[in-house]
Structure 1
Amino acid sequence: MMYRVMIIDDEMSARRLLQVSIDWKSLDMELVGEAESGIEAINIIDDLRPDIVFVDISMPFMNGIEFIEVATKRYTDLMIIVLTGFDDFEYARQCVRLPVIEYLLKPIVRQEVTEVLTKIKEKLDKHNSRTQEIGHEITPSDIEKIMQYLRDNFTDSNINLTSVAQNFGFNPSYLSRKFKQETGKSFVEFLIKCRMERAIVLAGTSKKMFCTANDVGIPDPNYFGRCFKKYTGSSYSDYVSAHTQR
């Protein structure tokens, strides 16, 4: 089986170096996605479903330690590799009292990364038993309840598929499939819709983008900006300008 890998680092050069320097296929691995911050990672990790995550310690809006604290509570089987600069190395080791698999110093060395991934692959191969699918069947009233829960709580930046599944007692992959079947939208699409509809209202009041981003549960303004443009077809500033000219 192919193991899924995600890279979380705000430095594009670091993400690219990892992508091109490792022979992923020979390790039975594939890169399924990347994020520029912990906030963005929390929002997209359920869609990517990684087995292994590289995460940088120093990132804006949600640093690597904060991401690890959230992720290890929700994804108990996730293999986490911490990337850190020399100056932050001891800080990272002291702060992360969590099930981190390995630490790698930046700039990365291909041989070291390959050795770490080989060890992780062996662990995954040995413990490749996946969670059984469900505790109980999802009914239409449960969808309704989950949709209402999202409408009421979308401003929480830590909310995502896994946290909601745990809250309602469902397996995340099962909830993901049933949510799409019942609503016609993926869980992430519905959550983004809730956030962007509120963002459009706030943009209409000429509210600053970073304030709106924080108010709708996406405190990373870069990720918020990409979501807003994808949803509305225009940048936040263009939308505000067009509205105030009316």
Structure 2
Amino acid sequence: MWKIMLVDDETIIRRGLRQFIESSHSPFTVVAEAKNAGEALQQLDQLPAHVCFIDINMPNMNGLDLIGLLHKRFPSIVVVIISGYDNFEYARQAVQLQAFDYVLKPVPKSDLEQLLYRLDTHLQQKFPDQSHTKTSQDKPHPHRNLSGGDGTLLIHTVTEYINDHYQDPELTITRVADLFHMNPTYLSKRMKQETGLSFLDYVTGLRIAKAKEVLDDAASNIRIHSLATKVGYKSQYYFSRVFKNKVGLSPLEYKNRGIDA
């Protein structure tokens, strides 16, 4: 099993990540947790890990400084930043520090599943001589097509792109069609034929599904305007209207449905 260390000063975040990782079908196990950089460095001396999930905002030393130290003391470790800050400067520094990914909290479970899938693939390439990992045949691939159909390679590639960029508010059919050198009308027709959904319906369904995952997380206290931005909407009010149209409840009503029952 690939070994993961969780570094976050919030106990509830570490607990949630541990529960998800260890209940998933991916070949990962959490070997240690730390609430600050000092604890992380001390524990890594005793419990080496392949991957370190690190929060940016921690007492005494922030996560970016910790990554710098990890590169010197544990150069083979793979770092994933999980942050509550959608900050371009943080993201830029993360790229400079060669972080594997920069993920914003709270993270939809399907996004975490895909992250683990990509990490497993990366680690198998990085450590090809380690035979304790599962093979790709043993590992479930995240469900990526909302329609459930296989489709052609072209439309599969397009939907993969949409799935990976649903948070982008500028994700339009014109932009995606240009990226794949296609006519927007032709792309729309092909998507409808192969997924059963128009481009807009596909993107909307994906975004609302991701929003529901975040709202279903009992540990999440995200504000509705932040959730709207997180799933690709510039306007909280438009997001709320679309959400209610699809779900039958407003985002806040959906979040509080168990409390009010």
TM-score (norm 1): 0.49
Answer 1 or 2: which has greater helix percent.
1
Output the TM-score relative to the length of structure 2: 0.46
Larger relative contact order, structure 1 or 2 (CA cutoff 8 Å, min sep 6): 1
